[in-house]
């Protein structure tokens, strides 16, 4: 994502010596509604050199305008000594709308480093089965991360949590909770600096009741069309002259 176009150079220079912690959680309901919550702990200098809190808020507002179906329920920025904590909570009627925000064309107001942190979401649907894959690239956001002192990296973690209405068919989560319905991907920042982090799951779409009702209506409609077609065909056949009645 591209947060601050006017201060892109400052961001890149700052990220050369910056580390961050991150935790994201996604709650998915049976009807596809979703709540997304993220907390990032970044160096205060990164925010300050990138335009400050006001610039950050304005960029996020512009980003969210690209998807009006997504509601921002909370957006807080607080400072703790030399670190700044950024917390955001989003909700929408369809989880695909949140996934849609990660597309490059939807995040023109964000700089590349933050786009790599947000990652790219890919959704593949095959019938009722859906496979979600997200690729996060901290190694591309923190271009100088491998040259940071070990003490700056130790203890930093990137955690991604998904609460699902039912256990998925398969996933590459590092651990599961709540009977398999909660998936946790827990990585160290050191891992993220070595290679992209990929979270993946495959599950059956939890369809709401009206989908089955709609399918029933379609079924009844097909039966009715078939019945009318059969009656019309029978009428045409009854009106067609038989061979014995045909003129020589």
pLDDT in tens, 71-129: 889 988 888 878 888 888 988 887 666 666 556 555 555 555 566 667 777 878 888 78
Confidence of residue 186 (pLDDT cuts 50, 70, 90): very high
pLDDT: is 180 or 28 the higher one?
Answer: 180
Q: How many angstroms separate the Cα of 181 from the Cα of each of 36, 162, 167, 168, 204? A: 16, 8, 4, 7, 12
Task: Name the β-bridge partners of 133.
Answer: 122, 200
- The pLDDT of residue 175: 96
pLDDT-derived band at 16 (thresholds 50, 70, 90) equals very low
State how far the Cα of 123 lies from the Cα of 66, in Å rounded to an integer.
19
Query: Which residues pair with residue 157 across a beta bridge?
Result: 188
Q: Which of 5-19, 84-98, 134-148, 177-191 has the highest mean pLDDT?
A: 177-191
- Spatial distance between the Cα atoms of 232 and 230, rounded to a whole number of angstroms: 5
Q: How many residues does the chain have?
A: 248
Written as six digits, the tokens of 181 are 């319905």
Res 114: pLDDT: 60
Q: How far apart are CA 75 and CA 70, in angstroms?
A: 13
Asked if pLDDT for residue 44 goes beyond 50, the answer is yes
Write down the domain spans for the chain.
Answer: 5-204, 209-245
Both tokens assigned to 101:
């925000």
Window from 61-65, 150-154, 202-206 with minimum mean pLDDT: 150-154
pLDDT of residue 174: 95
Q: In the block, which residue shows the tokens 């955001």?
A: 88
CA distances from 62 to 2, 50, 87, 116 (A): 11, 16, 17, 18
Q: What is the mean pLDDT of residues 55-60?
A: 78
Q: What share of the chain is helix, strand, coil (3-state, %, to 5)?
A: 40, 30, 25
Q: Is the pLDDT of residue 3 over 80?
A: no
Q: What values do phi and psi take at 133, rounded to 5?
A: -130, 130
Q: How confident is the model at residue 161 (pLDDT cuts 50, 70, 90)?
A: very high
**Residue 228 banded pLDDT, cuts 50, 70, 90:** very low
CB 91 within 8 A of CB 33: yes
pLDDT band of 36, cuts 50, 70, 90? confident
Question: CB under 8 Å to 194, separation ≥6 — which residues?
Answer: 139, 146
Most confident of 18-32, 74-88, 129-143, 208-222: 74-88
Question: Collapsing DSSP states into helix, strand and coil, what is residue 153?
Answer: helix
**Predicted confidence (pLDDT) at residue 141 exceeds the cutoff of 70:** no
pLDDT of residue 124: 83
d(CA 7, CA 53): 13
Distance of CA 217 to the CA centre of its chain: 32
Residue 212 pLDDT class (50, 70, 90 cuts): very low
Burial of 6: CB neighbours in 10 Å, binned 0-12, 13-18, 19+ = exposed
Name the CA radius of gyration of the chain, rounded: 26
Min mean pLDDT across 2-16, 26-40, 63-77, 145-159 is at 2-16
Yes or no: say if 136 and 196 are a contact pair by the CB < 8 Å rule.
Answer: yes
172 versus 234: the higher-pLDDT residue is 172
Specify the pLDDT at position 243: 52
């Amino acid at each position: 994502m591209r947060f601050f176009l006017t201060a892109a150079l400052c961001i890149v220079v700052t990220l050369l010596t910056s580390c961050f912690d991150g935790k994201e959680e996604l709650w998915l309901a049976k009807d596809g509604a979703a709540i997304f919550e993220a907390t990032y702990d970044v160096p205060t200098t990164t925010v300050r050199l990138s335009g400050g809190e006001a610039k950050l808020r304005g960029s996020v507002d512009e980003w969210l305008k690209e998807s009006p179906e997504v509601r921002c329920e909370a957006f807080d920025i607080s400072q703790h000594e030399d670190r700044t904590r950024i917390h955001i909570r989003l909700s929408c009627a369809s989880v695909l709308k949140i996934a849609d925000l990660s597309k490059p064309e939807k995040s023109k107001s964000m700089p590349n480093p933050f786009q790599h942190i947000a990652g790219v979401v890919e959704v593949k649907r095959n019938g009722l089965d859906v496979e979600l894959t997200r690729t996060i690239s901290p190694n591309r956001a923190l271009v100088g991360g491998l040259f940071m002192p070990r003490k700056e990296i130790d203890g930093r973690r990137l955690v991604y949590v998904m609460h699902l209405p039912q256990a998925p068919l398969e996933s590459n989560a590092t651990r599961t909770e709540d009977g398999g319905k909660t998936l946790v991907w827990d990585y160290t920042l050191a891992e993220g600096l070595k290679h992209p982090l990929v979270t993946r799951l495959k599950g059956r779409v939890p369809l709401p009741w009206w989908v089955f009702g709609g399918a029933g209506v379609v079924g009844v409609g097909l039966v009715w069309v078939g019945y009318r077609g059969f009656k019309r065909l029978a009428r045409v056949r009854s009106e067609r002259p038989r061979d014995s009645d045909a003129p020589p």
